[in-house]
Amino acid sequence: MAVQSKFNVGPWKVQGKVDYQKLISEFKVRAVDSKIKLRLQRIVGTPHLFFRRDVVFAHRDLDLILDDYESGRGFFLYTGRAPSMGMHVGHLLPFFITKWFQDKFKVNVYIQIADDEKFLSGKNYSLNDIRKFSYENILDIIAIGFDPDKTFIFQDSEFVAHLYPLALRIGKSLNLSQLRSVFGFVGSTNAGLLAYPLLQIAAAMLEKRRCLIPAGIDQDPYWRLQRDIADELGFYKAAQLHLKFLAPLTGIEGKMSSSKPEGAIYLTDGPKEVKRKIMKYAFSGGQPTLDLQRKLGGDPDVDVSFSWLSFLFEPDDQTLGRIRQEYRSGKILSGELKDMLIARLNDFLSVHRSRRDDAKSLVNTFKATGELSAKALTTIHE
Ligand code: TYM
């Protein structure tokens, strides 16, 4: 069941100020502690920034993934996206960390484009519209830089035949009460959405090895069900890395969402639009007047620009520490904090745009068509 206290985290809605510590106990996941970070460091060197900044804040079975790696059995990665008109910066977080794991451990990555889920859970878009979004979103995903030889991007409405035999077995092992209690389905939920989880769960069992899934914590209900039935079907329980949400510009509550444009920076936003949105909407922890800001300082803990810098846009720990301290003391003003974010975001987006252009010629290389996927699947099941 989605957590229902002051905040709410579920696959189709995230509301309120998320208390991540509380989620750890309610979702029965484990905090990413210094012990597991040190182990990761011993194996691959400095962990990704998201570990240092606690953006990856919880996990299940990361220790078993590392055991499997060290014993030579190996593992695979899986993540996904329900395609919408435009991807925003927050959507990239799980893809960044997935790529990092692929680079470090040289493993296969499967990326599910859940056009079916978007069609069934969203409003007003035809399946054709969503297929167009899928293409655009795939460009953004390829632009992250995955290894073309080890990455399979598949779109459910095309690839379903390859997942269906597994989905049928999963479907037989789960009942309506389980789906209801995990997803909160009610009498008016459409029948398509009732069945969709079988496909998201199936992709966690594409290889006879343990799967590691980096994703926002809102996706957890799927993984809880996968773990309930994995043994019975002869697969490993999937491991997860749970990420925090990048806040919407409008305040540190909920998650940045494509359906709320004033809170989101889309990957296709140009420099002027980025500046306009941040100047207009980015919630500030500063004081109402310049004098008061100089005297009392700002509050970085509620300031969205600071939060985005600390998630990923200021990778240097010392610089971030200095910004925090100077903002608190009143030396830096809210406008200056916004300027820093605008500059870094625009740098990032300009590189992304050019990589996205290059991705157009790579779609066929990455996309698992029936034939390609059949080849990949035979290899991996051998
Ligand atoms: P979707 O398309 O809503 O989101 C894609 C991924 O982005 C994460 N996410 C965010 N992360 C940080 N900050 C945000 N503001 C933010 N908003 C979204 C989501 O948690 C997700 O990891 N059902 C899925 C599609 C899917 C999938 C998967 C996701 C299919 N298979 C396997 C992860 C793993 C969905 O609707 O994601």
User: Measuring from atom 30 of ligand 1, which residue has the nearest CA?
Assistant: 80
Distances in Å between the Cα of 84 and the Cα atoms of 60, 110, 163, 190 are 29, 19, 22, 20
User: Measuring from atom 13 of ligand 1, which residue has the nearest CA?
Assistant: 245
Residue 381 confidence (pLDDT): 45
State how far the Cα of 66 lies from the Cα of 373, in Å rounded to an integer: 27
Comparing CA positions, the residue from 174, 181, 220, 215 lying closest to residue 198 is 174
Per-residue tens of pLDDT for the chain, all 382 residues: 444 447 888 888 888 889 999 999 999 999 999 999 999 999 999 999 999 999 999 999 999 999 999 999 999 999 999 999 999 999 999 999 999 999 999 999 999 999 999 999 988 899 999 999 999 999 999 999 999 999 999 999 999 998 999 999 999 999 999 999 999 999 999 999 999 999 999 999 999 999 999 999 999 999 999 999 999 999 999 999 999 999 999 998 888 887 788 899 999 999 999 999 999 999 999 999 999 999 999 999 999 999 999 999 999 999 999 999 999 999 999 999 999 999 999 999 999 999 999 999 999 999 876 554 544 554 444 3
Ligand 1 centre distance from Cα of residue 377 (Å):
24
| Strand pairing class (75-81; 109-113) | parallel
Contact 215, 77 (CB under 8 A): no
Helix ranges (H only) for the chain are 20-26, 34-44, 49-52, 62-71, 92-105, 115-121, 127-142, 156-173, 176-183, 191-202, 220-233, 271-281, 290-296, 304-308, 317-329, 334-359, 363-366, 370-381
Residue 4 confidence (pLDDT): 45
Pocket test of ligand 1: the residue of 218, 253, 267, 313 to mutate, having most ligand atoms within 8 Å of its CB, is: 218
Vertex 345: Cα angle to 340 and 350 (nearest 5):
135
Ligand 1 centre distance from Cα of residue 83 (Å):
10
In angstroms, what is the C-alpha Rg of the chain?
Answer: 21
Q: Write out residues with Cβ below 6 Å of ligand 1.
A: 11, 78-82, 90-91, 93-94, 112, 114, 117, 200, 213, 215-216, 218-219, 243, 245-246, 255-256
Contact 117, 254 (CB under 8 A): no
Domains and CATH numbers, the chain: 3-249 (3.40.50.620), 261-358 (1.10.240.10)
Please report the sign of the dihedral spanned by the C-alpha atoms of residue 63, residue 68, residue 74, residue 79.
negative
Contact 48, 241 (CB under 8 A): no
What's the residue count for the chain?
382
State how far the Cα of 117 lies from the Cα of 364, in Å rounded to an integer: 23
Give 295: exposed, middle or buried? Use CB within 10 Å, 0-12, 13-18, 19+.
exposed
Write down the pTM of the prediction.
Answer: 0.95
Contact 300, 285 (CB under 8 A): yes
User: Measuring from atom 23 of ligand 1, which residue has the nearest CA?
Assistant: 82
Residue 200 confidence (pLDDT): 98
- Cα dihedral 207→101→309→20 (10° resolution): 50
